[in-house]
């Protein structure tokens, strides 16, 4: 199991498109992915739950990946957030 | 006349077209044939997707890519494995498609509204838009055709939704009035993107106005003028034409460098009071931030902000600026501002009293936590520190020593920051102007605060009507200080900016150019105007004007002359 803290850098935070892309990326991997924000778990089943968590620019989330492809999953998911979802 | 919030600016004169709410009421029923109902739902999703894609395409052509993406995002709300799965589960449990769709949408609307976060709450509007479009399809209710609106139409709607914008022909719609929405709502963002003047949040606009009646929309004041007389229409027509002409002229300067007619380059930054303003500065084409006032972090609360809270705010601003300069002014607080938890005593003479750098140097723990927060933010952009109200070299030295202390604390904890962070002086007292040569040897930059500089130099309170006439940055004394500050900075090879109101004054601009100012910092709305004003002058012309002005003896002589040259 690996975990990493990452900070949101895009001005609009986790809005519709980033949340959608993120959920799709999570589903590509077989490992169990969890994310916490302010100590609370964020439901990664659907982008709407992520949006409802109101995670803003400058705030930190903790990602955890647990399973055979955890390294690859962490690299892609943390990378997406760190790159500001390309915004 | 009716009143609301103006956004965006501009004037619209036209005739009302009411877009009433569609009747989306239905009676929930128990479904016997589940398969048929599932099929009905799937067909509706397909139709919704097709319609929305077509709308997005129209919006892409008429409004812009960003707005089209909002609409395409609507498809992904409903055409999504999880969402479809949940809705189909409800239908399989014998709910009708209408109530299944509504229940799932409502759940997210409620969650978004409960977040308490403004941006997230606004996204509830997207879900409402999807819900209403889906219900309209399921119920077979036809959309009102906004695209049929004739030229010169003022649209009156409860809320301007992304799907509505698809029908708006920009040539035909001259104004928008909504019943709901703040200046940051979808309604406002969409109206701004389409550059249609709008007045938002007008209570009962749909009930009070009738289709076909003449109306004027004032996006500056938020006024909606009903039944205007001919002379009022004429007045607004000429205001509108002037506004549009000036706006077209200013837009030519967007995205351009700030450069004089003879080719000298200047930096043109913005003054901000919160991280949110930083986005506005970028939107208005600012080249950075010349003054970030940090007081907002300390006001309206009952205890000091923590280092982390401050760090969050500074870092957010730094990230929004994406490497452009960000000058953060340390706390400028004193006896004239009420911050109960600081325990400041009421003073006889607060402006000459225990404030700004003087207070901070005596409250070192508080000051150091602010400096550490700024240093930590410097790992995320071109962040600079500025001390306010410097009157003596020792204050700068003491402040710099504290910066060094904060740096070694951070180094010890292995926290990243910019080792070479520039530390500058806000020159806003006559004392700092007179010793500018001494300060320039030890400061990394100057920024002239003309508001306090004028008040302190003329020993006058601008709010006092008996002496307010003395308050002018065009007083020869103030101009001499400004000139000396700039020249001493230039001689020492450090950048000199101006972050006071005077930096945006068209009469001051040629003088500052001539004295050698390197950076203008103004409010976001003034950026393009200042850039245009700087572009008007060659250095030689500015020098000529400055030479004449500096030989004059009175403020009146100077301003009378400057009025003739701008």
Strands A60-66 vs A32-37: parallel, antiparallel or unpaired: antiparallel
Q: Inter-chain contact A48–B116, Cβ cutoff 8 Å?
A: no
Smallest CA–CA distance, residue A74 to chain B, in Å, is 23
Q: Inter-chain contact B73–A20, Cβ cutoff 8 Å?
A: yes
Task: Give, to the nearest 10 degrees, the angle between helix B555-565 and helix B476-492.
Answer: 70
How many structural domains does chain B have?
A: 2
Query: Quick check: is B373 in a domain?
Result: yes
Nearest CA in chain A to B72: A17
B133 lies in the same domain as B271: no
* Residue B96 annotated among the catalytic residues of the structure: no
- Residue scoring higher pLDDT (B220 or B146): B220
Which residues in chain B touch residue A49, judged by CB atoms under 8 angstroms apart? 111
B130 lies in the same domain as B270: no
Number of H helices, E strands in chain B: 22, 17
Nearest CA in chain B to A18: B73
B127 lies in the same domain as B270: no
| Among candidate residues B443, B422, B423, the one with its CA nearest the CA of residue B489 | B443
pLDDT digits (tens, 9 = 90+) for B425-434: 999 999 999 9
Query: Quick check: is B90 in a domain?
Result: yes
pLDDT digits (tens, 9 = 90+) for B153-175: 999 998 888 888 888 888 899 99
For residue B226, the Cα-to-chain-centroid distance in whole angstroms is 30
SS3 B373: helix
Q: Inter-chain contact B316–A53, Cβ cutoff 8 Å?
A: no
Nearest CA in chain A to B66: A17
| Among candidate residues A34, A39, A37, the one with its CA nearest the CA of residue A14 | A37
Query: Quick check: is B321 in a domain?
Result: yes
Smallest CA–CA distance, residue A65 to chain B, in Å, is 21
| Among candidate residues B472, B282, B129, B268, the one with its CA nearest the CA of residue A11 | B282
* CATH number of residue B441's parent domain: 3.20.20.60
- Flag whether the pTM goes above 0.95: no
- Residue scoring higher pLDDT (B560 or A85): B560
B120 lies in the same domain as B266: no
Query: Quick check: is B194 in a domain?
Result: no
ipTM greater than 0.90: no
Q: Inter-chain contact A54–B119, Cβ cutoff 8 Å?
A: yes
Supply B317's token pair: 């601003």
SS3 B53: helix
* pLDDT at res. B144: 65
B512-541: b (≥16 Cβ within 10 Å) or e: bbbbebbbbbbbbebbbbbbbbbeebebeb
Side by side, which strands form the sheet with B198-200?
B2-3, B223-226, B214-218, B11-18, B153-157, B173-178, B198-200, B5-6
Helices assigned H by DSSP within B378-519: 393-412, 430-434, 436-440, 450-458, 476-492, 509-515
pLDDT digits (tens, 9 = 90+) for A23-39: 989 999 999 999 999 88
B288 lies in the same domain as B421: yes
Query: Quick check: is B157 in a domain?
Result: no
Give the residue numbers spanning the domain of A18.
Answer: 2-86
* pLDDT at res. B23: 83
* List B74, B96, B105, B186, catalytic entry: B186
d(CA B130, CA B107): 13
Query: Quick check: is B293 in a domain?
Result: yes
How many CB pairs lie under 8 A apart between chains A and B? 57
**Dihedral, B102, B105, B107, B109 alpha carbons, nearest 10:** -120
Give the pLDDT mean for A43-64: 90
Q: Inter-chain contact A46–B82, Cβ cutoff 8 Å?
A: yes
* CATH number of residue A12's parent domain: 3.30.1340.10
| Among candidate residues A70, A15, A46, A65, the one with its CA nearest the CA of residue B70 | A15
Last residue of a domain, one of B139, B166, B194: B139
Q: Inter-chain contact B82–A53, Cβ cutoff 8 Å?
A: no
Q: Inter-chain contact B123–A51, Cβ cutoff 8 Å?
A: yes
Q: Contact at 8 Å (CB) between B555 and B526?
A: no
pLDDT digits (tens, 9 = 90+) for B256-274: 999 999 999 999 999 998 8
Side by side, which strands form the sheet with A32-37?
A2-7, A60-66, A32-37, A40-42
Give the pLDDT mean for B218-239: 95
Smallest CA–CA distance, residue B394 to chain A, in Å, is 36
Cα-only R_g, chain B: 29
Which residues in chain B touch residue A56, judged by CB atoms under 8 angstroms apart? 117, 119
Last residue of a domain, one of B139, B161, B180: B139
Query: Quick check: is B197 in a domain?
Result: no
B120 lies in the same domain as B264: no
Which region, left, alpha or beta, applies to residue B22 given φ > 0 means left and ψ of -120 to 50 means alpha? beta
B349-354's contacts with Cβ under 8 Å and 24+ in sequence apart are: B351/B455, B351/B456, B351/B461
pLDDT digits (tens, 9 = 90+) for B3-16: 999 888 899 999 99
d(CA B132, CA B151): 28
* Residue B269 annotated among the catalytic residues of the structure: no
- Residue scoring higher pLDDT (A86 or A29): A29
Q: Contact at 8 Å (CB) between B111 and A48?
A: yes
Q: Using an 8 Å CB-CB cutoff, list residues of chain A that contact chain B.
A: 9, 11-13, 15-17, 20, 45-49, 51-54, 56-59
pLDDT digits (tens, 9 = 90+) for B431-487: 999 999 999 999 999 999 999 999 999 999 887 888 889 999 999 999 999 999 999
Query: Quick check: is B540 in a domain?
Result: yes
Last residue of a domain, one of B76, B110, B139: B139
Give the residue numbers spanning the domain of B120.
Answer: 21-139
Supply B472's token pair: 């002018």
The dihedral sign for the CA sequence B145, B147, B148, B153: positive
Selected residue of A50, A57, A83 to mutate for chain B interface (largest B Cβ count, 10 A): A57
Smallest CA–CA distance, residue B108 to chain A, in Å, is 7
* CATH number of residue B117's parent domain: 1.10.274.10
How many structural domains does chain A have?
A: 1
* pLDDT at res. B336: 65
How would residue B340 be classed by pLDDT, with cut points 50, 70 and 90? confident
Which residues in chain A touch residue B76, judged by CB atoms under 8 angstroms apart? 16, 20, 47
Which residues in chain B touch residue A54, judged by CB atoms under 8 angstroms apart? 115-117, 119-120
């Amino acid at each position: 199991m690996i975990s990493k803290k990452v900070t949101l850098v895009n001005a609009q935070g986790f809005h519709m498109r980033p949340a959608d892309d993120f959920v799709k990326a999570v589903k590509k991997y077989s490992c169990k992915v969890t994310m916490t924000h302010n100590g609370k778990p964020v439901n990664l089943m659907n982008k709407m739950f992520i949006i409802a968590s109101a995670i803003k620019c400058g705030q930190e989330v903790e990602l955890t990946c647990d399973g055979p492809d955890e390294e690859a999953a962490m690299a892609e998911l943390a990378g997406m957030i760190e790159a500001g979802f390309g915004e | 006349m009716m009143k609301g919030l103006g956004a965006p600016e501009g004037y619209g004169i036209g005739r009302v077209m009411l877009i009433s709410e569609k009747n989306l009421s239905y009676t929930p029923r128990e479904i016997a044939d589940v398969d048929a109902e599932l099929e009905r739902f799937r067909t509706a999703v397909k139709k919704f997707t097709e319609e929305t894609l077509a709308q997005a395409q129209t919006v892409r052509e008429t409004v812009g890519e960003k707005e089209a993406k909002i609409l395409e995002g609507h498809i992904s709300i409903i055409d999504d494995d999880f969402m479809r799965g949940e809705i189909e589960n409800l239908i399989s449990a014998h709910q009708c498609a209408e109530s299944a769709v509504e229940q799932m949408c409502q759940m997210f609307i409620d969650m978004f509204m409960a977040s308490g976060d403004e941006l997230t709450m606004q996204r509830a509007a997207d879900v409402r838009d999807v819900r209403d479009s889906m219900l309209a399809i399921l119920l077979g209710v036809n959309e009102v055709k906004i695209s049929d609106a004739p030229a010169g139409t003022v649209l009156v709607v409860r809320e301007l939704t992304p799907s509505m914008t698809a029908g708006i022909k920009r040539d035909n719609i001259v104004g928008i009035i909504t019943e709901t929405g703040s200046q940051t709502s979808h309604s406002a963002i969409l109206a701004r993107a389409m550059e249609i003047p709008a007045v938002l949040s007008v209570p009962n606009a749909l009930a009070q106005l009738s289709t076909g009646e003449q109306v004027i929309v004032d996006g500056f004041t938020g006024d909606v003028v009903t039944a205007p007389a001919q002379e009022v229409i004429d007045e607004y027509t000429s205001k509108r034409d002037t506004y549009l002409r000036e706006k077209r002229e200013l837009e030519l300067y967007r995205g351009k460098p700030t450069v004089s007619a003879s080719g000298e380059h200047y930096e043109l930054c913005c003054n901000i009071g919160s991280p949110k303003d930083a986005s506005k500065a970028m939107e208005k084409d600012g080249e950075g931030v010349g003054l970030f006032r940090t007081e907002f972090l300390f006001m309206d609360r009952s205890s000091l902000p923590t280092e982390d809270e401050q760090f969050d705010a500074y870092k957010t601003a730094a990230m929004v600026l994406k490497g452009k300069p960000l000058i953060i002014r340390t706390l400028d607080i004193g006896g004239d501002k009420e911050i109960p938890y600081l325990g400041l005593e009421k003073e006889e003479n607060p402006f000459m009293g225990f404030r700004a750098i003087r207070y901070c140097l005596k409250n070192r723990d508080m000051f150091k936590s602010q400096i550490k927060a700024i240093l930590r933010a410097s790992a995320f952009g071109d962040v600079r520190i500025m001390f306010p109200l410097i009157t003596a070299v020792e204050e700068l030295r003491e402040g710099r020593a504290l910066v060094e202390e904060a740096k070694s604390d951070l180094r010890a904890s292995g926290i990243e920051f910019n080792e070479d962070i520039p530390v500058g002086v806000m020159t806003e007292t006559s004392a700092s102007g007179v010793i500018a040569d001494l300060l320039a040897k030890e400061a990394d930059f100057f920024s002239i605060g003309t508001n306090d500089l004028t008040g302190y130099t003329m020993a006058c309170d601008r709010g006092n009507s008996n002496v307010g006439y003395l308050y002018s940055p065009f007083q020869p004394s103030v101009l001499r200080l400004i000139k000396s500050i700039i020249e001493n900075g230039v001689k020492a090879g450090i950048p000199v900016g101006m972050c006071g109101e005077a930096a945006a004054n068209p009469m001051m601009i040629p003088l500052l150019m001539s004295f050698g100012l390197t950076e203008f910092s103004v409010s976001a709305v003034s950026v393009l105007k200042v850039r245009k004003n700087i572009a008007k002058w060659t250095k030689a012309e500015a020098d000529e004007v400055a030479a004449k002005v500096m030989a004059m003896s009175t403020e009146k002589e100077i301003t009378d002359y400057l009025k003739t040259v701008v």
